[in-house]
Amino acid sequence: MKEAKLKNGVMERRRAGIMKWLKSNIPILQHSSIPTAQYCNISTALLLILILLSAAPSLAGQSLGVSGYVTDKRSGETMIGVNIAVLGQRLGAASDRNGFFRITGLAPGKYVLEFSYVGYINKRVEINLAKKSILLKEVALQPQIIKGKEIVVSAKRAQIADLTVDAAHLQISPKDIKSIPAARSDVFRALKYLPGISGVDPFSPLYSTRGSDPGENLVLLDGVTIYNPYHFVTGAGIFNLYAIKNIEMMVGGFGAQYGGRNSSVLYISTREGNNKKLHGELETSTSQTRTIMDFPLGKNATMMVSGRFFYNLAGRFLFNMPLYFYDTNISLNWKLNRYNRLSLRYFLSHDYMHYSFARISSYYAHTLNTDIFEDYDVQYKNNWYNQAATAILKTIITPRIYLQTQASGSFFRAGNLSLIDFTYSDKTTGENSKLFYKTDIRNAIRDISVKSVMSIKPDKAQLLKLGVEYSNYYFKNNLSINNINQGAAIRQPAVLAAFSEDKITFGPFVIRPGLRFTKYSYAGDWHIEPRVNAALRLPWDIRLKAAWGKYYQYIISINSQEYEMSQFLDNYYPLKNNRPSASTHYIAGLEKTLLKQSLLSLNFYYKDISRVYTFDSNLPVSEAIGFTDKLRAGSGKSFGMEVLWKGTWKGFSGWISYGLSKSFRNYPHIMNGKTFYYDYDRTHAFKALISHQIRPYLSYSGTLQIMSGIPKTLEKSVRKYFYYDPLSASYSGFAAWVADTKNNARLPLSIRLDIGIKKRIRKGFGAELAKFMKAKDSYMNIKLGNLLFLYRNVLFYLPMGNKKYYGLASNYFPEFSAGYTIKF
């Protein structure tokens, strides 16, 4: 008894010691308004739920299992989404994002596993299960090469999401992206060709998913959150396609593993590197050069280095106006031993632009024989940096338990300077006046995170995932007006989150309930986000899917497109004295395999946006930029349906999609709370990509996009303001165009048709260089964009007076670009 008491006392002291350590090291717990016991209760509740979820099927009895990694024999890279079937049994699995698979529920005995993947030769492996589950050595699949033909792998690509249960899941392969002419090999441009995703305007890289704000999209690069993953220059994304292995988009209803954003998750995985030999690619054109090299580093390590450099030679040379960006990815992967793998990834991008109107006008002022630009200058200087680094340790604890631990840092820094400098003469007084206005806005974001995800396969019917995540943030906004610093605003929140989800299979029915617990340091409470995904397999290869989930966002981004001609940057705001923005997703859909390699999917969704924020437009600039708490809360909803047919057929591949959607918002301070159409609402969206691989060395592709125009506010009347100027003893005035209804008009349909040709080159510099280097292939890519340029895609209307408007378009001319790729 005494011993027990003593033991309890020691335990209490240890517990208190642990809590003290946690509080001193994790800032989020320092200011917790919840008593320790309360979150202990929550933890206990979570634990109980997990035990309940996982215990029942495991009681059925102990069974054996087999697990291992699947790799590509040619490159040694792990393969995602490989099907593994136990012949003669109704058991199987697919390799996950780490290329790892697990099959459980096997009785002792001999089995044959069949590994299959489109474009690869099926492989059979015999196993003998005696008393223990076994971990296989790497299973390498051989690519299928038929002389003169290339296998098109498109219908069944790798997946991060679980295809058996995730409802609103879209995948796009780097190969698909290369075949979208208008994408110009850019991930973000390509995404806009998927259903449910639309660009905010033709010049901006920002995208809206299913009627949400662009800032509600989570972008992860190898699991690291990237802030503003866009280049200022060209409006492209910052990810070099050459370095990318897999791209997945979850446009809603995503599981408890992902949090912090309300609308979508874009997960990009980079290549690990070739462990067989040096492999490389180089692509160059008049505007950019991209390259990748991947190679083995000794027996157990690989490395991948890729880079891209965009330049504007003419602007730099003629006007001394630099405009460039570069990005680079480095990936190092070690197989430490049979059970542990370590990956180190680093990513860097930098944009720089300096535009000066005076330097350009110095040329044409002389040609036009005018001096009106002599003392006039407008300048923009943008300097953006994005960096991310991560270390990922993947451990096979037992053949049934897989642990992934990740530490990462994501850093964003932007400097945006604008200047107007104008000297003019007042004819009445004869005096020279000078207008000088310069703003310099500098943002910095730092996100240091650690997370750990354990996935457990207790039996053949279950897959349990448990995870914990801690992020420490630093946000800084600084504004200078006319070289006078207005002061910096800094916020340093932290987020602690834990999640659990369990995928349970009952015959043809699969359900994946999940819970996400989040504590945000600036908010008092723990928030619980329950999420459920379910799927039912029906005859005729039909699968019904449904998802429901609650989502909270603490670090929001403000939509500023009404104040800017084109929004290029997400303006991140860590909420402090405001409740998190929130939404609930309801999704139902069905999928059916048509033909051999194509999939038809139909999805219906309803999104209840219960809390969303916008700027108060009456705030002074300095207060708005300085993380003001005076945000205006509103609400909204969006709903719609999407049909997508994606697949390959006899050299043709691609997809056709149609989306019908509606999205609304209401804010108490706008039109007295009346509901209006959301800024990026597009009722109809038809999108098609068709790529025709005629020969291994020749392919044509075409994309067609027909979409409803977005709502716009058309000013209906002029309000005139007058004031008395005591210096000149006269009245002056100015006019402002006003409208009484927000988004009272809709732009006309926008249509875009692009064609691309990819062809092995036979003559000229590229062919001769490839021949000299004994390269495998050299290709040219020709892109003919905006072929329907005679149809004007209106961007906005300029009021011309007398109730007349001029529709300013984004597509007056067809586009042409050509590039050269060499593979070795």
Partner 1 sequence: MKTQNLKRIFLFISFLYLPAHSQNFVQDTLEISFDNLSHAPCAAILDTVIDKRGTQPRFLAWDEKTKYLFVPVDLLILSKKPLAAEIQQALNCGTEKTAACTLELILDEFELSKRNNSMLYPHYRLNAAIQVLHKKKDGKPVSIGRLLYESTIRQPFFGDKLKRGFETLVHKWIVHLAEDLDSLSQNLQTKQTIKSANFRSGNYFSDPQNMISTLDIQRGSGGWLWDAEIIFSPREAKRCFYRDGYNIRYRRNKTYESIEFGLSCDYLFYRLSQNLLLRTKSQLMFGLSSWKDLNETMHDFWDAFIADYSLSQSVIYNPLDKSAILFGLGISQDVFYIYSKKINFRLYFLLNLGLKL
| Stretch near partner 1 under the rule CB under 8 A, chosen from 356-364, 459-467, 587-595, 736-744 | 356-364
| DSSP letter, residue 673 | G
Q: What is the rounded CA–CA span in Å between residue 196 and residue 662?
A: 11
Binding partner 1 (rule: CB under 8 A), the pick from 702, 711, 756, 785 is 702
Binding partner 1 (rule: CB under 8 A), the pick from 791, 797, 805, 824 is 791
Q: How far is the CB of 344 from partner 1 (least distance, A)?
A: 36
The torsion region of residue 24 among left (phi > 0), alpha (psi -120 to 50) and beta comes to: alpha
448: which strand partners? Answer: 409, 472
Q: How far is the CB of 768 from partner 1 (least distance, A)?
A: 4
User: 115 exposed, middle or buried (CB, 10 Å; 0-12, 13-18, 19+)?
Assistant: buried
Binding partner 1 (rule: CB under 8 A), the pick from 784, 799, 807, 815 is 784
693: which strand partners? Answer: 699
| Stretch near partner 1 under the rule CB under 8 A, chosen from 105-113, 124-132, 235-243, 746-754 | 746-754
Q: Which two tokens stand for residue 648?
A: 């390959």
Q: How far is the CB of 693 from partner 1 (least distance, A)?
A: 11
Q: What is the rounded CA–CA span in Å between residue 156 and residue 169?
A: 13
313 binds partner 1 per the rule CB under 8 A: yes
| Stretch near partner 1 under the rule CB under 8 A, chosen from 538-546, 609-617, 627-635, 782-790 | 782-790
| DSSP letter, residue 764 | S
Kindly tell me which of 634 and 654 has the beta carbon lying closer to partner 1.
654
Binding partner 1 (rule: CB under 8 A), the pick from 203, 649, 700, 805 is 700
Binding partner 1 (rule: CB under 8 A), the pick from 367, 483, 577, 618 is 367
Q: How far is the CB of 361 from partner 1 (least distance, A)?
A: 10
694 binds partner 1 per the rule CB under 8 A: yes
Q: Which two tokens stand for residue 229?
A: 């993953």
| Stretch near partner 1 under the rule CB under 8 A, chosen from 64-72, 74-82, 504-512, 753-761 | 753-761
Binding partner 1 (rule: CB under 8 A), the pick from 14, 695, 719, 776 is 695
The torsion region of residue 426 among left (phi > 0), alpha (psi -120 to 50) and beta comes to: beta
What string marks each residue from 34 to 63 as x (binds partner 1 by CB under 8 A) or -? ------------------------------
Binding partner 1 (rule: CB under 8 A), the pick from 359, 632, 716, 823 is 359
Binding partner 1 (rule: CB under 8 A), the pick from 35, 37, 317, 434 is 317
Kindly tell me which of 374 and 562 has the beta carbon lying closer to partner 1.
374
761 binds partner 1 per the rule CB under 8 A: yes
378 binds partner 1 per the rule CB under 8 A: no
Binding partner 1 (rule: CB under 8 A), the pick from 318, 542, 594, 595 is 318
756 binds partner 1 per the rule CB under 8 A: no
762 binds partner 1 per the rule CB under 8 A: yes
* Contact assessment for residue 473 and residue 445, using Cβ atoms and an 8 Å cutoff: yes
Within 8 A by CB and 6+ apart from 470, the residues are: 26, 28, 449, 450, 451, 494, 495, 496, 497
Kindly tell me which of 669 and 771 has the beta carbon lying closer to partner 1.
771
Q: How far is the CB of 816 from partner 1 (least distance, A)?
A: 8
772 binds partner 1 per the rule CB under 8 A: yes
Q: Which two tokens stand for residue 512?
A: 């994946």
| Stretch near partner 1 under the rule CB under 8 A, chosen from 203-211, 242-250, 292-300, 698-706 | 698-706
* Contact assessment for residue 129 and residue 61, using Cβ atoms and an 8 Å cutoff: no
- Identify residues 703-722 at the interface with partner 1 (CB under 8 A): 704, 706
Q: What is the rounded CA–CA span in Å between residue 111 and residue 65?
A: 11
354-365 core/surface letters (b: 16 or more CB in 10 A; e: else)? bbbbbbbbeeeb
3-state DSSP of 154-216: CCCCCCCCCCCCCCEEEECCHHHHHCCHHHCCCHHHHHCCCCCEEECCCCCCCEEECCCCHHH
Q: Return contacts of 805-811, CB within 8 angstroms, 24+ apart.
A: 805/714, 807/747, 807/748, 810/201, 810/202, 810/203, 811/202, 811/752, 811/786
Interface with partner 1 (CB under 8 A), residue total 44
689 binds partner 1 per the rule CB under 8 A: no
User: 781 exposed, middle or buried (CB, 10 Å; 0-12, 13-18, 19+)?
Assistant: buried
813 binds partner 1 per the rule CB under 8 A: no
The length of the chain is 824
Q: How far is the CB of 655 from partner 1 (least distance, A)?
A: 15
| Stretch near partner 1 under the rule CB under 8 A, chosen from 49-57, 232-240, 312-320, 577-585 | 312-320
Q: What is the rounded CA–CA span in Å between residue 748 and residue 714?
A: 13
Q: What is the rounded CA–CA span in Å between residue 345 and residue 340?
A: 17
Binding partner 1 (rule: CB under 8 A), the pick from 140, 602, 641, 757 is 757
How many angstroms separate the Cα of 15 from the Cα of each of 10, 11, 32, 33? 9, 6, 18, 20
314 binds partner 1 per the rule CB under 8 A: yes
| Stretch near partner 1 under the rule CB under 8 A, chosen from 392-400, 430-438, 568-576, 747-755 | 747-755
Phi, psi of 313 (to 5 degrees): -65, -45
The sign of the CA dihedral 220, 223, 226, 230 is negative
Q: Which of 498, 585, 492, 576 is nearest to 533 (CA)?
A: 585
692 binds partner 1 per the rule CB under 8 A: yes
Kindly tell me which of 139 and 753 has the beta carbon lying closer to partner 1.
753
Binding partner 1 (rule: CB under 8 A), the pick from 426, 629, 740, 768 is 768
Q: How many CB atoms lie within 10 A of CB 25?
A: 9
* Contact assessment for residue 641 and residue 674, using Cβ atoms and an 8 Å cutoff: no
149 binds partner 1 per the rule CB under 8 A: no
According to DSSP, the β-strands at 197-199 and 168-171 are unpaired
321 binds partner 1 per the rule CB under 8 A: no
362 binds partner 1 per the rule CB under 8 A: yes
Q: Return contacts of 762-768, CB within 8 angstroms, 24+ apart.
A: 766/820, 766/822
669 binds partner 1 per the rule CB under 8 A: no
Binding partner 1 (rule: CB under 8 A), the pick from 544, 619, 751, 809 is 751
According to DSSP, the β-strands at 571-574 and 581-594 are unpaired
755 binds partner 1 per the rule CB under 8 A: yes
Q: How far is the CB of 613 from partner 1 (least distance, A)?
A: 36
Q: How far is the CB of 523 from partner 1 (least distance, A)?
A: 48
Kindly tell me which of 771 and 776 has the beta carbon lying closer to partner 1.
771
Q: How far is the CB of 785 from partner 1 (least distance, A)?
A: 13
Binding partner 1 (rule: CB under 8 A), the pick from 122, 320, 482, 485 is 320
140 binds partner 1 per the rule CB under 8 A: no
The residues of the shown chain that bind partner 1, judged by CB under 8 A, are 313-314, 317-320, 359, 362-367, 690, 692, 694-695, 697-698, 700, 702, 704, 706, 749, 751, 753, 755, 757, 759, 761-765, 768-769, 771-772, 780, 782, 784, 787-788, 791
